[in-house]
Structure 1
Amino acid sequence: MDKFNPTTQESDLPKISKPATRNLAEAGYYKLEQFTKVTEADILKLHGVGPKAVRILNEALKERGLSFAKK
């Protein structure tokens, strides 16, 4: 994944903790649609991203009719 560059890429992620946001960005995640290609378990492996962040991401995905990839 590409490194997040706030000057060229806009994030549409919901408000989650700063460590989770930072680590998701470092892993190249900055758009909700990107999470449809990975599982919750994949995201939980990232440092600083815990169950609460995944729950918030899940809620945001559901609002758009999206979901994490299935195992």
Structure 2
Amino acid sequence: MAQEKTKRICKHGHTFYKSSDCPTCPICEKLKEPASGFLALLSNPARNALLHYGIDTIEKLASYTEKEILKLHGIGKASLPSFKKALEENGMTFKQDK
């Protein structure tokens, strides 16, 4: 049986409805999304994972190998094409495995 959605108000005054205990405001999350750059191409989990590890520029992304990036919680193989495309558009690639 589906849980009933409850009305909530975040600390910024946004009103939203949730059926889980998750306190995250979807409106605040949407406002945090970048409008441009390679981070704008990613899903929220992938973007949040990169930001958690301080990877906020394409140059920082290029300093990692594919294997290193895939080990980060929140990053899956589905994100690799977006990463590779963004790197390629900037004349870069992932760091090569040794």
- TM-score, with structure 2 as normaliser: 0.58
- The whole-number CA distance in structure 1 between the counterparts of 2:66 and 2:39 is 15
Residues 1:14 and 1:59: Cα distance change in structure 2 (over 3 Å): farther
Q: Is the 8 A contact 1:23 1:46 kept in 2?
A: yes
Equivalent residue, structure 1, for 2:81:
55
Q: 1:28 aligns with which of 42, 51, 54?
A: 54
Among all aligned residue pairs of Structure 1 and Structure 2, give the percentage whose two residues are the same amino acid: 34
Shift of 1:14: 4.0
Distance (Å, rounded) in 2 between the aligned partners of 1:58 and 1:12: 10
- Bigger share in strand: 2
Alignment of 1:12-27 (within 5 A): 12-27=38-53
Task: List gaps (5 residues or longer) in structure 2.
Answer: 1-31
Judge conservation of contact 1:14–1:56 (CA < 8 Å) in 2. no
Q: Which has the larger radius of gyration?
A: 2
Cα distance in structure 1, aligned partners of 2:38 and 2:66: 18
User: Taking structure 1 as the reference length, what is the TM-score of the superposition?
Assistant: 0.78
Structure number with higher relative contact order (C-alpha < 8 Å, ≥ 6 residues apart)? 1
Paired with 1:30 and 1:12, the residues of 2 have a C-alpha distance of 9
The alignment of Structure 1 onto Structure 2 pairs a total of residues equal to: 62
Moved over 2 A (4+): 11-14
